[in-house]
């Protein structure tokens, strides 16, 4: 998160005249959550964040000049211990805080945060947007369809072709906002979405080919570098290598892990992360020096080797 972006968020918040701030993830589930909040409340200020560093946005909200009657709604973001202190601070500043999620939570943290926030619901049977739907818009036909599309993608059911088009069309915050707005109004497909989709398919194919070229197989673990399209890259690696663990690294040390065995979140937790049993993410906390080192020696960098070794220890295939 850069200073310019921080300023933009703070300026946006200053101008915002509604009372719902929505902090959510970046994928289709999150966009569907956002569509539902928009449908329910109309005026919503949304911040899309990776699961690893949303605490810094909470920090930003705690810094912002507080207005009366503000509610922070978190969705599709798992519990992280480093979020506790800042959430407590937001509460003491008068924010109402609601949290809806479906990731694996540390039980202790769940209990701790529950005593601080106004509302907390974690349900692993549902995707995040289904939780938002059942909480806020149960019975609304369009909202129900939005939640079904989110589920179709998030649980990798892929019965509804619209979920593939929509999740691919999402590329940045601008497209997230546009699509959330469309979904909130019941527009599930149109020429604009088609054009966004076509553009992203081109970019995605290029990025996947590049990630495959940079990949290696170490034991049962396939490793590569990619700054996006994590799930698609992981699926291609598995096809290519018949691997049972896939690690996708970013240049800044943030990584995603996919595993056949239900151990992804356990691996990620060793590296300041978390997530689902078969898909999770963490952070190797690259220093400037590590980033340069990673460019030079690649997967032989000590922190990367540590991750690869940890992942292999969990892989009993
Ligand atoms: Mn989700």
Residue 29 CA to ligand 1 center (angstroms) comes to 5
Does residue 27 contact residue 170 with C-beta atoms inside 8 Å? Answer: yes
Q: Is the pLDDT of residue 219 over 70?
A: yes
Residue 292 CA to ligand 1 center (angstroms) comes to 33
Kindly list the protein residues that place their beta carbon closer than 5 angstroms to ligand 1, a single-atom ion: 29, 76, 128, 154
What DSSP character marks residue 273? -
Helical H runs in 101-260?
107-114, 128-132, 141-154, 161-169, 173-184, 191-213, 230-241
36-95 pLDDT, tens per residue? 999 999 999 999 999 888 999 999 999 988 788 999 999 999 999 999 999 999 999 999
Residue 136 CA to ligand 1 center (angstroms) comes to 17
260-311 pLDDT, tens per residue? 999 999 999 999 999 999 999 999 999 999 999 999 999 999 999 999 999 9
Does residue 248 contact residue 222 with C-beta atoms inside 8 Å? Answer: no
Residue 67 CA to ligand 1 center (angstroms) comes to 30
Domains of the chain: 3-189 (3.40.50), 211-314 (3.10.310.30)
Which of 7-11, 102-106, 193-197, 261-265 is predicted least confidently?
7-11
Task: From residue 95, give the alpha-carbon distance in Å to each of 16, 55, 91, 273.
Answer: 15, 16, 5, 26
What DSSP character marks residue 137? I
Residue 244 CA to ligand 1 center (angstroms) comes to 22
Residue 265 CA to ligand 1 center (angstroms) comes to 14
């Amino acid at each position: 998160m850069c200073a310019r972006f921080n300023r933009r968020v703070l300026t946006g918040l200053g101008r915002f005249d509604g009372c719902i701030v929505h902090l959510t993830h970046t994928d289709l589930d999150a966009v569907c959550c956002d569509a539902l909040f928009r449908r329910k409340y109309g005026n919503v200020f949304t911040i899309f964040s990776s699961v690893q560093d949303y605490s810094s946005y909470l920090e930003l909200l705690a810094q912002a000049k507080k207005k009366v009657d503000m509610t922070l709604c978190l969705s599709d973001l798992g519990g992280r211990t480093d979020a506790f202190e800042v959430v407590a601070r937001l509460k003491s500043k008068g924010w109402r805080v609601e949290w809806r999620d479906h990731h694996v939570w540390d039980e202790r943290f769940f209990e701790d945060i529950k005593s601080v926030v106004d509302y907390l619901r974690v349900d692993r049977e549902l995707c995040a947007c289904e939780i938002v739907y059942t909480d806020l818009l149960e019975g609304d036909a369009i909202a129900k369809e939005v939640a079904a599309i989110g589920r179709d993608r998030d649980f990798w059911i892929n019965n509804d072709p619209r979920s593939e088009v929509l999740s691919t069309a999402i590329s940045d915050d601008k497209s997230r906002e546009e699509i959330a707005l469309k979904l909130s109004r019941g527009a599930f497909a149109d020429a604009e979405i088609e054009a966004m989709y076509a553009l992203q398919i081109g970019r995605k194919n290029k990025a996947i080919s590049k990630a495959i070229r940079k990949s290696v197989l170490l034991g049962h673990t396939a490793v590569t570098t990619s700054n996006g399209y994590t799930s698609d890259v992981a699926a291609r690696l598995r096809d290519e290598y018949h691997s049972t663990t896939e690690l996708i690294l970013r240049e800044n040390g943030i990584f995603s892990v996919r595993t056949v065995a239900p151990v992804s979140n356990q691996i990620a937790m060793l590296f300041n992360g978390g997530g689902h049993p078969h898909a999770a993410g963490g952070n190797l906390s690259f220093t400037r020096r590590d980033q340069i080192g990673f460019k030079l020696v690649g997967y032989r960098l000590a922190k990367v080797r540590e991750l690869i070794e940890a992942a292999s220890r969990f892989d009993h295939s």
